[in-house]
Structure 1
Amino acid sequence: MKKRLKNILALGIIGATMLGFVGCGSKTEAASSTGAAEKEKLVLGFDDTFVPMGFKDEKGEIVGFDIDLAKELSKKIGKEITFQPIDWSMKESELNSGKIDMIWNGYSITDERKEKVAFTKPYLDNRQIIITLADSNVKSKADLKGAKVGAQNQSSAVDAINKEADLVKSFADGKIYTFETNDDALRDLEAKRIDAVVADEILARYYISKKGEEKYKVLSDDFGSETYGVGVRKDDKELLDSINKAFDDMKKDGSAKTISEKWFGEDIFK
């Protein structure tokens, strides 16, 4: 009888312990399923070298076109937004793991990315342009045969170039030379370690204007047009809707136009 009672007590303790684990697991799961729209503070992930969209200025302050848009969005939706520099090659993982709530930094809308995130309506047009040095013999896309072509790792530029597989095979070493940032790629171009860079027109034009337009050449050929959007988790529909509404309001009240003219000298907000 005593032995039986001990066994019953032991089983009871084990059962209670297991229930405790299940209870903890349920709470954790419930906490992780909280939608971004329910949070008071949202975290925006961005590449802090992507001028003029979101970057650190000479004082180390975070500035840029997308940063200003996000600050205006914060007012419109009544939520604080903090800016978190991230490894751009890990952006979707950072979003879906819950470390950030938005990807917003010249984030091109592509079919491949649509499988991982939900996009807002497009707010800006862009092209993947080809930049060389002014004295380069590369004058067209066909001239990239045998050339060292650079782009930012895990960028839409890489995706766009890879759509032309035969052309990539003709590059020097049969590959794209990838860099951590667009700035690194353009520095290697200046040092003549590579022959051309493919990058977002928005970034490249700004970079060239600061470094001296006489140093560079932008080819008439490109690797296609695209649009920028804000990426959120697929189950954050409420947040997605609120951003889209805020974009409409910013267009109507002129705040988007003001921000656009500040950075580009004209209104390019869609």
Structure 2
Amino acid sequence: MKRILTFLLLASFAVIISCNNSGSTNNTASESAEDNSLQKVKDAGKLVLGLDDTFAPMGFRDENGEVVGFDIDLAKEVASRLGVTLEIKPIEWSSSILSLNKGDVDVLWNGVTINDARKQQINFSKPYLNNRLVIVKAIDDAAINSKDDLAGKVLGVQVGSNDEALTADPASKNAKEIRRYDVNVNAFLDLQAKRIDAVIIDEVAAQYYISEKKAPFVVVDNSPLTEELYGVGFRKSDEKLLAEVDRILDEMKADGKAAEISQKWFAKDIVLK
């Protein structure tokens, strides 16, 4: 009888310990899954922004080598209202999503087009800018007047940026060749040298480049390949940081700061309300 009682007591004790340990494990898992993305940025005292630093006018280097641009000014104001500084980190844009998900940067903020392929891997803020993917040709080129005229032509596009949208458009299927570039500037240099027939690029970047460089190019009117929306990219797990950035951007739209920044770069307010 004593042996039986002893056995039962030991068995009960083991069950209690097991239950306690199980609860502890579950609590630990719950704690590790907790979203501390916003607090992490605040504790670090900085918001790390990943970008392609050649994408004017969104984020690029000026004549002094400083990274400037429309997105940079927006992000600096957001960081200030978060109570942190903005750290700008140029990255290889073709692997930008990998850099974000590895934790190398906190956000991707550089005219990032919202599309279904990217939404499978990252989350986006509310859209803050409308943009179109357009065709840029040499000013003396009379052969390309619509996307239907891209048949048999050699096209240039930035890898990891607009190549997905170009490839998805039926008009690209009849192109002779699609050449992919690390940066848009190299595509424009090849266009000027007539090594390619057209560049497929975001309209804001195209118009800025043509204006600033006095480049002998034109945007093909009324023939966008896509209508696009820009958003800030976040890791899937960083919902609290995303929500706070969205809140601040809404605040900036309401108090006129976003419009002020837009006027600086585009001479008009093009920010989505």
TM norm structure 2: 0.83
Answer yes or no: is 1:131 the counterpart of 2:136: yes
Counterpart-to-counterpart distance in 2, 1:57 and 1:232: 27
Counterpart pick for 1:93 among 93, 98, 105: 98
Counterpart pick for 2:175 among 171, 174, 187: 171
Structure 2 gaps, min length 5: 1-27
The aligned counterpart of 1:45 is: 50
Q: Say whether the 8 Å CA contact 1:52–1:203 is kept in structure 2.
A: yes
Counterpart of 1:217 in structure 2: which amino acid?
A: V
Counterpart-to-counterpart distance in 1, 2:132 and 2:169: 16
Could you tell me how far 1:30 is from its partner in structure 2? Answer: 5.7
Answer yes or no: is 1:146 the counterpart of 2:147: no
Could you tell me how far 1:35 is from its partner in structure 2? Answer: 2.4
Counterpart-to-counterpart distance in 2, 1:75 and 1:36: 14
SS of the residue 2:240 aligns to: helix
SS of the residue 1:185 aligns to: helix
Q: Say whether the 8 Å CA contact 1:36–1:42 is kept in structure 2.
A: no
Could you tell me how far 1:38 is from its partner in structure 2? Answer: 2.2
The aligned counterpart of 2:255 is: 253
Structure 1 gaps, min length 5: 1-25
Q: Say whether the 8 Å CA contact 1:46–1:85 is kept in structure 2.
A: yes
Q: Say whether the 8 Å CA contact 1:73–1:243 is kept in structure 2.
A: yes
Q: Say whether the 8 Å CA contact 2:46–2:79 is kept in structure 1.
A: no
Counterpart of 2:159 in structure 1: which amino acid?
A: N
Q: State the Cα deviation string for residues 119-168 of structure 1 (Å, max 9, x = none).
A: 0000000000000001112222121111101100011x211211134x33
Counterpart-to-counterpart distance in 1, 2:190 and 2:231: 29
The aligned counterpart of 2:204 is: 202
Could you tell me how far 1:216 is from its partner in structure 2? Answer: 1.6
The aligned counterpart of 1:67 is: 72
The two structures, once aligned, show a CA RMSD in angstroms of: 1.9
Q: Say whether the 8 Å CA contact 1:36–1:101 is kept in structure 2.
A: no
Could you tell me how far 1:46 is from its partner in structure 2? Answer: 0.5
Assess, with a 3 A threshold, how the Cα gap between structure 1 residues 169 and 269 changes in structure 2: closer, same or farther.
closer
Larger Rg: 2
Q: Say whether the 8 Å CA contact 2:210–2:218 is kept in structure 1.
A: no
SS of the residue 2:195 aligns to: coil
TM norm structure 1: 0.84
The aligned counterpart of 2:18 is: none
SS of the residue 2:88 aligns to: strand
Counterpart-to-counterpart distance in 1, 2:122 and 2:84: 21
Counterpart-to-counterpart distance in 2, 1:189 and 1:231: 30
Q: Say whether the 8 Å CA contact 1:46–1:105 is kept in structure 2.
A: yes
Q: Give the number of aligned pairs.
A: 238
